[in-house]
Amino acid sequence: MTWQTILAVLWTVLNSPAVIAALAGLILWGLNRLYLARPEWQQYEGTIIAAIKFAERTIPDDVPNKSLERLDTALKYVLGVYQETNGRRATAATEANLKEGIQIVHSTLEANGNL
């Protein structure tokens, strides 16, 4: 067998519908894994926005440590929704992730003038 024959057979095999379907499936699987690797707080972004606005309304500006109080109120709100949705309490890692999400969304809302 010559190199040309080997390459022709290899090219024929790689261009078969089964191999193309397998490659497409592998690429889709990889993209799904990549998409699912997003931070956990993003699926609760609507709840986080509602919690931030709730905390902004309920905690007055003259309270000492108002930022910390608002963060705590928003976190309690989001954790309550999390527990209600999942039927279990959030782990420490999930709680830290949600807290980080609250801070990110708050800064985005503040920068856009939506608070």
Query: With bands split at pLDDT 50, 70 and 90, how would you rate the model's confidence at 11?
Result: confident
| Confidence category of residue 67, pLDDT binned at 50, 70, 90 | confident
Calculate the alpha carbon distances from 90 to 57, 78, 80, 86, 104 in Å: 25, 10, 9, 9, 19
pLDDT score at 83: 93
Q: How far apart are the first and last CA of the chain?
A: 73
Residue 73 has pLDDT above 90, yes or no: yes
Region 4-13: what's the mean pLDDT? 88
pLDDT band at 34; cut points 50, 70, 90 = confident
In the predicted model, is pLDDT for residue 91 greater than 80? yes
